[in-house]
Chains A and B, each alone.
Chain A
């Protein structure tokens, strides 16, 4: 099959709303969105605290977080697999090969990235914001929140980076999701499988959707960052 034929066949699949394609797209989006949400919830406060508060071992925590951003996805996959396996400590939950397991693994994967990106954003924020807020009688938490709100454009870009990493993630999805058809099969695991089968149209179709999603996310982020400028 030539490149053109594969491309044409993939477009036909997309336009026909092929159920396998649709299912893979939805699983990918659900997992990536949920994991982006949870990793932001954990990563942004961690990043903020590391930059704006002084405590013992702060430097070590910072280095640890930066190191963890380089952990290969298959290592996170292996850790979560071992935890959730029938013989693992959390085996009783029967979460292995479910979307929940994929969200858990993906969240763990991206928390360090969210934290380090937040650190970069907050360290560039004007230090007077927090001081002013405190002077005006805000509580420390309220002042921190003010800093984060004032840094929202940078944080938004951080969240978008996290989402970008997650939507294109393969290792965790394959290891703890198991690539089960219509259940835990994502766009990336489907592309890996279809390429392995030598069936390129479906792989191409999913590749196109991935590109589309990436474009969409970047457009939204761009629009939001322009707002109020």
Chain B
């Protein structure tokens, strides 16, 4: 009787896995698209904490979560090197776009490389809005300025501590340029006058990875369940599910963990 009750209790209370993730996976509907199947199959309930990539990694550093879904490659590498995380695994990718006013005041639409386009924005002193919040997008923007060999500062460089949607609104209001992930820009586009001025450039690639918080550091980490999540999302089936998410006919995240599936889905 007692064992039966315990078994019932176990069935009613699945293990809770804490996932700290960048906001785009949650806001785009990806997690709602892939997690229920995982939860059903493995009897694990996933608690999603959607924050910027920087904060997600900080939460992992403090042992407040079990697994992290981020898109800040440099920070992720440093996180693993410092011994905070293990088993970093690339899961999927999409890309960033440089957007600006329709009349392109810096004249950068014809420029072939994004760093060169940024250099032009800086030279002409046209307003550029930065997320300024340590998010994955902010990390990517910093990397692009480094590649452009420009230290962005001055009245034209506005560091707004806001989310992507609010920064797009601000860029639209101030006739400014900004860097955005394609998904957020697509869902925002109809409300403003901004256009894409740079896209499909290799530096704009945006890979997403899963990392498990080091169980040797925090023994409470649900290591097995975290690895199950990685296994499921990088399996051919999980990858196909990721690639199946569309917004107005466009793929939001290209699976990249299993090359064959990724190729098939991209076609």
Contacts and interface: CB of A to CB of B under 8 A. Distances in A.
Interface of A: 1, 85-86, 96-97, 174, 178-183, 185, 189-190, 192-193, 196-199
B161 A198 contact: no
Contacts of B80: none
Q: Tell me what chain B mostly uses at the interface: helix, strand, loop, or mixed.
A: mixed
A208 to B, nearest CB: 20
21 contacts: A85-B173, A86-B173, A96-B173, A174-B162, A179-B161, A179-B162, A180-B158, A181-B132, A181-B158, A181-B159, A181-B160, A181-B161, A192-B161, A193-B133, A193-B161, A196-B55, A196-B133, A197-B52, A197-B133, A198-B51, A198-B54
Contact of A97 (B58, B134, B159, B173): B173
Contacts of B166: 178
Closest 4 CB pairs of A and B: A198-B58, A193-B161, A181-B159, A198-B55
Nearest to A179: B161
A1 B51 CA distance: 18
Contacts of A199: 58, 134
Interface string B128-171: 00001110000000000000000000000011111000100010
A20 to B, nearest CB: 10
Nearest to A87: B173
Contacts of B51: 196, 198
Residue in A178, A181, A183, A198 with the greatest tally of chain B CB atoms within 10 Å: A198
B30 to A, nearest CB: 21
**Of listed B59, B158, B172, B173, residue having the most chain A CB within 10 A:** B173
B228 interface: no
B134 A197 contact: yes
Contacts of A174: 162
A180 B160 contact: yes
A225 B166 CA distance: 44
Nearest to B59: A198
From A86, A178, A182, name the one whose CB has the most chain B CB atoms within 10 angstroms. A178
Contacts of A180: 158-161
A198 B52 CA distance: 9
Nearest to B57: A198
Interface of B: 51-52, 54-55, 57-59, 62, 132-134, 158-162, 166, 170, 172-174
Contacts of B59: 198
Contacts of A85: 173
Contacts of B62: 1
B254 to A, nearest CB: 28
A190 B58 contact: no
A86 B150 CA distance: 30
B132 to A, nearest CB: 6
Contacts of A190: 161
A197 B55 contact: yes
B133 A178 contact: no
B161 A189 contact: yes
Nearest to A85: B173
Q: Which of A180, A182, A192, A199 is the most central at the interface, judged by chain B CB atoms within 10 Å of its CB?
A: A180
A5 to B, nearest CB: 11
B50 to A, nearest CB: 11
A192 B133 CA distance: 10
B37 to A, nearest CB: 30
Given A179-B161, A196-B133, A97 B55 contact: no
A148 B58 CA distance: 54
Nearest to B191: A87
A85 B174 CA distance: 10
A96 B170 CA distance: 9
A13 to B, nearest CB: 17
| Residue among B55, B62, B160 having the largest count of chain A Cβ atoms under 10 Å | B160
A88 B236 CA distance: 50
A12 to B, nearest CB: 19
B174 A97 contact: yes
Contacts of A96: 173
Contacts of B172: 86
Contacts of A189: 161
Contacts of B174: 97
Contacts of A185: 161
Contacts of A178: 160, 162, 166, 170
